[in-house]
């Protein structure tokens, strides 16, 4: 997500996203927030999904949380394993990276 977009929405910090995301993933036994950072105009939250067979459900939970906290439209979900892919938060379509 673009950090400038977060500032426009008056987010208090990545914790406002990380905490509900961590809780939702843990409650669904899908994975965890494993790190993150910001700089260069972007904010990144790293998420580990426990297994490949849980990727679709993990994506669904991640999208739900991000929509609930109303992240900006510039937000994307980037998958790096087992293959690289990019997902939009507000669009169900997937495009390979």
Q: pLDDT under 70 in the chain at which residues?
A: 1-13, 92-97
Taking the whole predicted model, whether its pTM rises above 0.85 is answered as no
Q: What 8-state DSSP symbol labels residue 63?
A: H
CA–CA distance, 69 with 36 (Å, rounded to integer): 17
Instruction: Output the pLDDT for position 89.
Output: 93
> Tell me: the pLDDT tens digits for 26-54?
999 999 999 988 777 777 899 999 999 99
CA–CA distance, 75 with 67 (Å, rounded to integer): 10
As a dihedral over the C-alpha atoms of residue 49, residue 85, residue 75, residue 26, rounded to 10 degrees, the angle is -10
Instruction: Output the pLDDT for position 27.
Output: 97
Q: Which residues contact 77 (CB under 8 A, 6 or more apart)?
A: 59, 62, 63, 66, 86, 87, 88, 89
């Amino acid at each position: 997500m673009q950090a400038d977009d977060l500032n426009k929405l008056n987010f208090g910090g990545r914790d406002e996203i990380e905490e509900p995301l961590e809780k939702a993933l843990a409650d669904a036994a899908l994975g965890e927030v494993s790190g993150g950072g910001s700089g260069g105009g972007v904010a990144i939250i790293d998420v580990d999904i426990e297994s490949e067979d849980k990727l679709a459900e993990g994506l669904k939970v991640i999208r739900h949380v991000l929509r609930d906290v109303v992240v900006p439209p510039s937000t994307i979900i980037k998958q790096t394993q087992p293959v690289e892919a990019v997902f939009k938060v507000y669009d169900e379509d997937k495009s390979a990276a």
